[in-house]
Chains A and B, each alone.
Chain A
Amino acid sequence: MSKTINLTLKVWRQKDALSPGRLETYEARDIDTDMSFLEMLDSVNEELQQKGQEPIAFDHDCHEGICGSCGAMVNGQAHGPVREMTLCQLHMRHFQDGDTLVVEPWRARAFPIIKDLVVDRSAFDRIIGAGGYVSVRAGSAPEAHSVPVRKIDADKAFEAAICIGCGACVAACPNASAMLFVSAKVSHLALLPQGQPERQRRVLDMVSQMDREKFGNCTNHYECEAACPKGIQVANIARMNRDFLSAALTEEEGKGGRIV
């Protein structure tokens, strides 16, 4: 059953990328425990605006855990304390009356802060641009049933393809590594027959773009898997490492950094 609770928020406020930021304290009063975390922020923002103060900026859109827009560190945990849940799906019933919540943006060199809790995740787009697709032109595809796909492969590809690109894996990693994100896309396409022609080139180009974006390296902390709201597994990283090694040793064409 729903009830109301009172919370103390310490929220990171930062005007823009170049200004210094700081934690500001706000009281969140009479918060219905059926509210989502974002609705709780809405209610704090309503009050701030009525007092003539600028609302807290945060990215959000679908409120259904699928668009990947939202995300913040809540008491040091990406998307808050509940496993496999985005911030928009995190309901206030998971908190106690009187709790103090420290709310910060994703922290990573590759994700510069735009304002308050909003960060620039365009590095992810550039990594996808480097090869996270099958190069097929509209109009050129063969009949869908001309290539059967084993159900087990289709299911595994799906499990990797459900990444929402929120960036929680990077934020949770002590090295700010993007290996879980990159490996999810590499795995999605490596597991399907349609992804085979570009498989080697894809992993090499995506990894080299990842390095250029200044993400850190993976040292097997597995914090990414724990923070991922979609339950994407680190097994994908192992698959990507295998593909990368074999591609780096055998690949003949393509661009980007190579270990030779």
Chain B
Amino acid sequence: MGLDAKVPGGPIAKKWARHQFELKLINAANKRKYTILVVGTGLAGASAAASLSELGYKVKAFCIHDSPRRAHSIAAQGGINAAKSYPNDGDSVHRLFYDTIKGGDYRSREANVYRLAELSVRIIDHCVAQGVPFAREYGGLLDNRSFGGAQVSRTFYARGQTGQQLLIGAYGALMKEVNRGGVEMLPRREMLELVVIDGKARGIVCRNLITGKLESHAADAVVLATGGYGNAFYLSTNAKACNVTSIWRAHRKGAFLANPCYTQIHPTCIPVLGNYQSKLTLMSESLRNDGRIWVPKKAGDGRPPQEIPEEDRDYYLERKYPSFGNLVPRDVASRNAKNICDAGHGVGPTGMAVHLDFRDAIERLGKKRIAARYGNLFDMYRKIVDEDPYETPMMIYPAVHYTMGGLWVDYNLMSNLPGLHVLGEANFSDHGANRLGASALMQGLADGYFVIPYTIGHYLATTPMEKADASHPAFRAAEQEVRGRLGRLLSLRGGRTVDSFHRELGLLLWNNCGMARSKKSLEDALRRIPALREEFWGNAVVLGDGESFNQALEKAGRVADFLEFSELLVRDALHREESCGGHFREEHQTEEGEAKRDDAHFCYVAAWECAGPDKAPVLHKEPLEFEAVHLSQRSYK
């Protein structure tokens, strides 16, 4: 099956405008005849559900939490990029586009990224109109800061909780439509199967997490906005409910999964403290604006950081990358932290941490201004680590944070499975092999507010569909499948908790497919994951019943899917015999230890098709063609 990305013709700057005109429309009075399911209500899902309802479609929105306001988008700290060019420092739509393509190490689709940069400015307008309290200057206008991988200040922010404020804006828009009757909101629901009729996505089966009842919902199109799969690694900065289940179920039903090996390991997280830890905490990348990263020059220097004089400190990012310094992209910063710790210069009780030091910034700007910029982050650090970052340099270490891979989508954000649309982190589209800071919020909102409202109408207007409601036999069959899977999970009465399997899987992925991967480590993982999965299905313990609120059952289903999905993640990493962005293969590096791409052989999107249980997945390639930017080795020196 060929992959048609449906990228419109013409020069890159005109493609979206041209496409908007070419897309078929549905008359306003007819839109209410169509039902659209939106699964997931974070930034992408909430903004999509609200916008589609504003247009007149009947929308049903599903979320796994008790309220759409809990989605993990809320935890995004640093900011949202937009090519407003308010600071007069040389930014433009083209530069944001270029930085994002380069930051992604030339593994994203040009046309999508250009559209993202173009739409970025409208997002800021819309969010300001919603009452999002972005940081402002005394003149009453919006403030900007800079972020990794860019030399301009284009990041809009609301102290260290930009994601929260943007999500509350999108949540408000969603609740406005719920109140008006355009959206039916179904909280505490988990999608457990996608229903395909006549080759098209026509509905879902979900579990009501309070009553345990399975519910079938039929529709004319399905939108998945269910986030990323970083929790495959168990320890990550993702919230605990983040999972791969919905996209994995869609994959099993025919949707291709693209580039699963592109996982982002974020450089500035609070290091692992103990083996009881349930998750890791991010310290916003924005801290790298004012904080300086260093380690002692002497390996094993045991002195407290304040007592280590300037000449005994190695500000290794500033030394190696003078033009970007501490603001190199995330993949570069993470890899350097790993290398310097592996060489014995790491600090803290485990030696797996580097310092992020605000001493100089506090001297330059005063404690008050630093507190105004990062107060809530400093508080969070103090609460967890029990040290005051105004006095003692922070300790940070990389942790799994974001997944660039996801379901394959075309320019219209539709997967190869007609009718299934995928938004936000759940799709693979815009960030290539590495996402730049402050770009996730931008993508989620661009997809939801400004792309899907245009493209889904075209699909509905041009696709003849038979009538199908939830009484269709395909729904009975899907329910039966789900019931069987839940029954198998509930029959597990072995000796190991589900969490202990998840921890083991996570550690295996972290060690064998983390910041650095090799053929050897990946082949080892491919041997061990099936064995672990087999043990899970024989020896896990899942208590309680299926007819009530049962968090143990929910968790078991998600871990079971991670155990299947991880194998594909590792297989993708093994097949990609190059290094690019967050995917660093030890066999492929430059003399200076930077990622070495192989454009001759790997300049494509790897989209995997599920060939059936226990069969090897089939690889499809979407070649990446670059017209507007010149492929080159990334340099941040």
Contacts and interface: CB of A to CB of B under 8 A. Distances in A.
Interface of A: 2, 15-16, 32, 34-36, 38-39, 42-43, 46, 49-50, 52-55, 57, 59-69, 85, 89, 91, 93, 114-115, 118, 120-122, 124-125, 128-145, 147-151, 154-155, 157-158, 161-162, 164-165, 188-189, 192, 194-195
A236 B277 CA distance: 37
B139 A148 contact: yes
Main secondary structure, interface of A, reads: loop
Nearest to A38: B278
B274 A55 contact: no
20 contacts: A2-B273, A16-B548, A32-B274, A34-B273, A43-B276, A50-B495, A50-B497, A54-B552, A59-B66, A61-B240, A67-B75, A120-B66, A128-B171, A129-B175, A149-B136, A154-B133, A157-B131, A158-B165, A161-B168, A194-B128
List the 8 shortest-distance A-B pairs measured between CB atoms, nearest first.
A148-B140, A133-B172, A141-B129, A158-B133, A129-B179, A129-B175, A61-B239, A141-B125
B279 A63 contact: yes
A142 B66 contact: no
Contact of A141 (B72, B126, B543): B126
A125 B175 contact: yes
A192 B133 contact: yes
Contacts of B544: 54
Given A69-B66, A132-B175, A194 B543 contact: no
B138 A151 contact: yes
Interface of B: 47, 50-51, 54, 65-72, 74-75, 84, 86, 122, 124-126, 128-131, 133-142, 158-159, 161, 164-165, 168-169, 171-173, 175-176, 178-179, 185, 187, 210, 239-241, 273-274, 276-279, 281-282, 380, 383-384, 386, 449-450, 453, 495, 497, 499-500, 541, 543-544, 548-549, 551-552
A157 B499 contact: no
Given A61-B239, A130-B179, A138-B126, A144 B131 contact: no
B125 A157 contact: no
Contact of A129 (B72, B129, B176, B240): B176
A105 to B, nearest CB: 13
Contacts of B383: 65, 85, 89, 91
A49 B239 contact: no
A63 B185 contact: no
Given A148-B139, A154-B135, A32 B125 contact: no
Contacts of A162: 161, 164
A32 to B, nearest CB: 6
A145 B386 contact: no
B276 A57 contact: no
Nearest to A189: B131
A131 B176 CA distance: 7
Contacts of B552: 49, 54-55
A215 to B, nearest CB: 16
A188 B544 CA distance: 43
A158 B139 contact: no
Nearest to B169: A133
A139 B450 contact: yes
Given A141-B125, A194-B128, A188 B133 contact: yes
A136 B173 CA distance: 8
Contacts of B129: 134, 136, 140-142, 194
A142 B124 CA distance: 10
Contacts of A118: 549
Contacts of A143: 125
A170 to B, nearest CB: 14
Nearest to A58: B551
A151 B210 contact: no
Contacts of A53: 543
Name, among A39, A62, A118, the residue most crowded by chain B CB atoms within 10 Å (CB to CB): A62
Given A62-B74, A136-B126, 13 more contacts: A55-B543, A55-B552, A62-B239, A67-B69, A69-B70, A125-B185, A130-B179, A139-B126, A139-B449, A140-B129, A165-B69, A192-B133, A195-B131
Contacts of B279: 63
Contacts of A134: 129-131, 172
Contacts of A66: 74-75, 161, 164
Nearest to A135: B176
Contact of A154 (B84, B134, B176, B210): B134
A145 B141 contact: yes
A194 B179 contact: no
A39 B278 contact: yes
Contacts of B130: 133-134, 136, 141, 194
Given A39-B278, A69-B70, A192-B133, A138 B54 contact: yes
A143 B499 CA distance: 49
A249 B178 CA distance: 29
Nearest to A68: B70
Given A161-B133, A194-B130, A194-B131, A144 B175 contact: no
Nearest to A230: B376
B32 to A, nearest CB: 16
Contacts of A136: 126, 129-130, 173
Nearest to A161: B133
B140 to A, nearest CB: 3
A35 B128 contact: no
Nearest to A130: B179
Given A43-B276, A59-B66, A148-B139, A91 B384 contact: yes
A221 B552 CA distance: 39
A133 B70 contact: no
A149 B140 contact: yes
B125 A142 contact: yes
A46 to B, nearest CB: 6
Contacts of B172: 128, 132-134
A39 B277 contact: yes
A225 B240 CA distance: 28
Contacts of A195: 131
Contacts of B142: 144-145
Contacts of B136: 149, 151, 154-155
A144 B142 CA distance: 8
Contacts of A39: 276-278
B70 A42 contact: no
A149 B141 CA distance: 7
Nearest to A192: B131
A223 B153 CA distance: 42
A64 B185 contact: no
B93 to A, nearest CB: 15
Contact of A35 (B71, B179, B274): B274
B175 A128 contact: yes
A62 B75 contact: yes
B67 A124 contact: yes
A36 B169 CA distance: 30
Contacts of A64: 75, 281-282, 380
B558 to A, nearest CB: 13
B476 to A, nearest CB: 28
Contacts of A15: 548
B85 to A, nearest CB: 12
Nearest to B280: A63
A32 B65 contact: no
A241 to B, nearest CB: 21
Contacts of A131: 179
B50 A62 contact: no
A185 to B, nearest CB: 9
A148 B128 CA distance: 10
Contacts of B380: 64-65, 89
A32 B67 contact: no
A122 B67 contact: yes
Nearest to A118: B549
A60 to B, nearest CB: 6
